[in-house]
Homo-oligomer: A and B are copies of this chain.
């Protein structure tokens, strides 16, 4: 089978205290801010890709909290004829210094969410997720989070990860 990943994973870090997110301005994009991110390695979990790529691109350490948004796109240039899944995660940073590669990125900065939601110099998906984050930051992240639970696989005994809206305990423990 092809070694190319079947889907891409992108991600973002969000600082709880400061309602700011790291954004990069790539040399390859025209005047547009976007979240740091990149492709999953084969067999890598969504959250692990997000944490790894944010660290590689920005030097920021973080922890996976939830999935925020999923995009399915067909015949995207660069997707090698596959449908690509672009998944945006919410991460909680534990370090804040930015250290980026100046050959790939023109700029990489902590951006204010409110500014990012309003600027014209962001991709539509970036400003849309910025609005979602602003809503979560003000009203509670439970309004926007798609959280993760682990389950044992029936045949293999391995664990798999299931992402959905938070389910109240009274329903989870139903038997």
Contact = CB atoms under 8 A, between A and B. Distances in A.
Given A82-B1, A124-B151, A160-B73, A131 B45 contact: no
Interface residues of A, number: 64
A47 B117 CA distance: 28
Nearest to A41: B83
A114 B40 CA distance: 38
Given A6-B6, A124-B154, A174-B117, A69 B164 contact: yes
Given A1-B4, A5-B6, A80-B1, A128 B151 contact: yes
B161 A72 contact: yes
Interface string A116-153: 01100001110011011011000000011110010111
Contacts of A96: none
Interface in A72-115: 72-77, 80-83, 85
Contacts of A42: 81-83
Interface stretch (A17-25, A54-62, A165-173): A165-173
Nearest to A119: B175
A161 B6 contact: no
Contact of A168 (B32, B80, B118, B135): B135
B72 A45 contact: yes
Contacts of A124: 151-152, 154
